[in-house]
Amino acid sequence: MATGFFWNERTFWHAGGNYAGTLQLGGLVQPLAAGGLPESPETKRRLKNLMDVTGITRDLDMRDAPEASREELLRVHPATYLDAFKATSDSGGGEIGLHAPFASGGYDIAALSAGLATAAVRAVASGELTNAYSLSRPPGHHCEPESPMGFCLMANIAIALEAAFAEGQIKRAVVLDWDVHHGNGTEAVYYSRSDVLTISMHQEGNYPLETGALHDRGREDGAGFNLNLPLPPGTGHEAYLHALDTVVIPQINAFAPDIIIVACGYDCAASDPLGSMLAMARTFADMTTRVKQTAEEICDGKLVVVHEGGYSEVYVPFCGHAVEALSGSDILAADPLDHVLTRRQPNPRVAAFQKELIDDMAKELGL
């Protein structure tokens, strides 16, 4: 078996609307020369380019996949939402949610993005692949069943998981989201269910402003099966690994899933324009290695990484290449910013405070 890499050039052709960064044009907001939202194709395209240049793609099982079917989409999104999205897409594009515009054909590209994640989960859950990476675009972790937002138009991970549930491939799953923004969409889908443990490590008070609180633990059957770790701005490499080692991985072990899905945003990296964190490329490599080892110990290595945020066109490729450590390849892409970002890490006193804060959150939740 091998590590799969699911991608399709068409996902790079998804286009946003009249924005300058995250601000809508008008009034005193001027257009940008490059235009559009920070969620551009270049972060993903340059990751794929870097992988080709280093040669790591030769160590991966490179695959394509079809669009997610209507039946697969309906397991998460109601027909009213899908129909409105499709009609707007077919009539030239537009925007039906907050910060979630799309051009003509946007519905089909979003369904393809979900299809890549679905194929990756299906291949890993069935044992056809050891683990996999889905280069999905547009992203999905902010999209709630009836509400697209935050660049996300379909709930890629939830669509993929529901297909695996429906086909009897899995009974329990963990979704670990380390994007800098709270994974509110995935949380909304599973907030009342006990068969999926959702964990979000995100920057406190970033996006969305209304979700991601520490004490949002789920409701009804899902009570206790949602975990939010709102980390302070400036959280660095050591604190991210501390959160994984002392809180996240023990919770994954206790839940004993059949598969682990990582909602992999790179916007907690130090150079990202939409975050205020201090992760580095090796942070992602180390987190991936830890989660991979956990998957090997409790669910036969079944691990799927699905691409989410990350908006530095220069740095995302190096962070993404580091995540390909899940393949076991010895081909590395030297991080050109490692020496700088190492110097920018929190000093020992601040790092100790960040770890203590994580410990206090765990105690407050009784973990």
**Token pair of 363, please?**
């105690």
Q: Report how far apart, in Å, the C-alpha atoms of 25 and of each of 35, 40, 282 are.
A: 10, 17, 37
**Token pair of 345, please?**
């890490």
Which DSSP category does 307 fall into?
E
**Token pair of 140, please?**
């999905």
User: Are 6 and 119 within 8 A, CB to CB?
Assistant: yes
Class of residue 213 by CB neighbours under 10 A (exposed 0-12, middle 13-18, buried 19+): exposed
- Residue 156: closest CA among 316, 21, 265: 265
Q: Within 13 A of 270's CA, how many CA atoms are on the CB side?
A: 23
- In this structure, how many other beta carbons lie within 10 angstroms of the beta carbon of residue 92? 10
**Token pair of 52, please?**
């080709």
Q: Report how far apart, in Å, the C-alpha atoms of 365 and of each of 114, 131, 229, 351 are.
A: 33, 32, 10, 22
User: Active-site residue among 99, 141, 142, 242?
Assistant: 142
Let me know if 142 is a catalytic residue. yes
User: Mind telling me the catalytic residues?
Assistant: 142
